[in-house]
Each structure stands twice: as C-alpha cells, then as structure tokens.
Amino acid sequence: MPYKPLNLSTPVPILSWANHELGHQEIKMAKNTASLPFVFKHVALMPDVHLGKGALVGSVIATKEAIIPAAVGVDIGCGMAAIKTAYTADQLEGKLKKIRLDIEAAIPVGFNQNKDTDKTVDNWQGWQQFKDLHPGVQHLESKAMKQMGSLGGGNHFIEVCLDTENSVWLMLHSGSRNIGNMLAQCHISTAKELTRLANTQLPDSDLAYFVQGTPEFAAYWRDLQWAQNYARFNREAMMARFKRIIEKHLAGGKQAKPLLEVNCHHNYAEQEVHFGEEVYVTRKGAVRAREQDYGIIPGSMGAKSFIIKGKGNAHSYCSCSHGAGRLMSRNKAKENFSLDDLLEQTQGVECRKDTGILDEIPGAYKPIEQVMANQSDLVEVVATLKQVVCVKG
C-alpha cells in the first residue's frame, strides 16, 4: 500500500502507511511531533502505528541538528534477532516441552538476571567505556553485566519457529535491559530541565530535545550508541545459548553454522543521509529497510512472523514496521480476554498457558497479515514463520 498524507495542518506533512483511522490522541501526538521546528521533510507512520510516549510507536522522525530522547524511548536498542538453521520440523517431534524448559533454565526472563557472567559477556568491549557513561548509572555496572544475556519482560520473547518449507528458525526479541532504561531516564530528565530553564514552549514535555553542538547532546549521543551496542550484543549472547540448546536436542551437541543470521534494532537513532541531507533518524518502533537490508517483523505469540528484505523506500526513510502493533492496552487485554481465550489463540504453540501472560494474547494485537499488506512497497518477504515454542518475558 502506498502512503497517504494525513489531512492535517502541520509545518511538515505526515505520511501514513496505516490503513486505519488514527484516534484523537494518536492524531494529537502525530501533530505535536510534526510541529517541532527541527523536524525534517515529513514524519512517516508505519502500518503498526499506535500510542506511545511523546511520539507514536511506529513513527520515523528525521531531525536536523537536534534529537528527542523520549522519541527513542527507554528501551534503547530494543530489537530482534533470528537465525535459520539446517534443522527440519520432523527433528523437533516430541522435544518441544523439553526445549522450552531448557530455554527457561538457561536464559533469565522478567526481572531476573544471570547469577554469573560468562566469558563472552566479560570480554564485551563495551565495558571499557562504562566509566564514560552518565554519572547516574555508574553504580549499575555489576547489574548491567549480569543482565547481559537476559530477556526482560513485557512483549519480549524467545521462539522456535518453522518456515513454509519446514526449516527450523530461532528468533528472539529484547533490548538494553535496565541499563538502557536508566540511561534514557537520566537524559530525558536533563532535556526536560533544559526546556524548563530556557522557558521553551513545547506541545508535550516528552518532546524535550537536545541541540547538536551542546555538551548535553554529545553526552546523550555517546550513551545512546553504547546502549544500542549493548542491546545488540545482549541478543547475540542469548542467541548463542539458545542455539546450543537446539543443537543439544537436535544434533547431539554438534555445532552447526546458521544458514542466515539477522539482528536488527527497532527503537533507536542513527545519523543517515536522506533526500541528499545528513539527518538524525529516530525509529520508534520501526526497522531500517534500505535496499537489501534484512529485517524481522514479528506477529503476536499465536501469529505468523516475517523475515524481510528492504526495498529502500525514500518516503519512509528506508523503514518498515517493527511488528503487528497493539490493538488494545495491556489492561484492556486483561479485561477483555480469559484464560480460555488464551488457550484457544495459542493452540499448537508450546508456551505458558496462564493468566500471567493474558496481556500478550494474540487478540490484543493487530492482524499481522494486514500490516504486511500495507507495506508491500517497503519490504519483500523472504520467509514466513510460525512459532511452535514461545517463551515470554
């Protein structure tokens, strides 16, 4: 589906790939973002767009000489990782529950962390820069090290999937854990304080920003890149453990080289060139989809997911959606669905079947097929996956 410009009076246009009408609050949030003086060219809304904090989740914002910390969000570098294995569906038969239990034993979820750090984590070069991070997180180094290689909570997950040719894929969704959250909160507070001291009028205090060339901008950008690297390596550390578990059950512990590996952020900012100009691109719930870029667009825990390749659509700032997008809030999902609904909607998936994950029920998300149809001009599908094991955060 090609984009449609929203019929709104804003300093820069808002281009939308969503086929649904935005609600009042969503329109207000989009207008607020598009009204900022440093926003470049236009704001792009992905097919899975929905309410966020400050800026919409599923929005791509290009800015000149400024950046908005809350638009990146608190889970800096949150994203996806997937590998295609040489294993096939028949090798999984009778092993799904054991695999799930082994994943849950090897990879901490929720607020849990590792008891000890392994050699790979200890050797991550990012620890050398920890002393340069914001003073507000200096006491968190030990915790950050122990959380490296852990999943977190909310909509984070680990899945064993099958594609349409019955090949086994490993997929997971996670970010920068507590350290990314704390770094973001420190810088968001600083941005809000600068706004207050300068008496700058903003349509929403969560759109407080840093100006390029200031010490505050430089400090945020340094910490942002560090947290994005942490998030990427966190996924690598989990995937290595996950892969070993699968090798134990399907190949007697023998290592096998992945046929394809993908690791992509969907909550982050980078310096890029668009329409011939260097800008800061913030993807808040969006994946980079330059021509030939591989990416991952997951559905809910009972729906299909997609490995994609970007088409490099300039109007989306070479971006695509990061998932199905929520249809209802977590509280609303708990009010509207029962355990019986969860059992029905996750039929055929080896996963937890309790009320503790009702807020992640497939019915709380938009239909992923519609989301994919809306971005046929942004991506091509490389593989269609369906989970057989799902471990939730």
Q: Is residue 175 part of a domain?
A: yes
Quick check: is 36 in a domain? Answer: yes
CATH of the domain at 129: 3.90.1860.10
pLDDT in tens, the chain (393 residues): 689 999 999 999 999 999 888 999 999 999 999 999 999 999 999 999 999 999 999 999 999 999 999 999 999 999 999 999 999 999 999 999 999 999 999 999 999 999 988 899 999 999 999 999 999 999 999 999 999 999 999 889 999 999 999 999 999 999 999 999 999 999 999 999 999 999 999 999 999 999 999 999 999 999 999 999 999 999 999 999 999 999 999 988 888 899 999 999 999 999 999 999 999 999 999 999 999 999 999 998 888 999 999 999 999 999 999 998 888 888 998 989 989 998 889 888 998 888 888 888 888 888 899 999 999 999 999 999 999 999 998
Contacts of 323 by beta carbon, 8 Å cutoff, 6+ apart: 48, 266, 285, 297, 298, 299, 365, 368, 371
- The verdict on whether residue 159 carries a ligand-binding annotation is yes
At residue 307, what is the residue type? I
Q: Tell me how long the chain is.
A: 393
Structural domain containing residue 29: 4-327+365-392
Domain presence at residue 338: no
376 labelled binding-site residue? no
Q: With respect to residue 41, please indicate whether it lies within any of the assigned structural domains.
A: yes
The answer to whether position 108 is within a domain reads: yes
173 is in an annotated binding site: yes
Of the candidates 187, 265, 315, 322, the residue annotated as catalytic is 322
Task: Look at residue 139 and tell me if it is in a domain.
Answer: yes
Number of other CB atoms surrounding residue 58 within 10 Å = 30
Q: Consult the annotation and say whether 315 binds a ligand.
A: no
Question: How many structural domains is the chain composed of?
Answer: 1
Asked about 139 being catalytic, the answer comes back as no
User: Residue 350 domain-assigned?
Assistant: no
CB 159, CB 390: distance < 8 Å: yes
Residue 161: partners with Cβ closer than 8 Å, 6 or more residues away:
168, 169, 170, 171, 305, 385, 386, 387, 388
How far is Cα 108 from Cα 152, in angstroms, rounded to an integer?
8
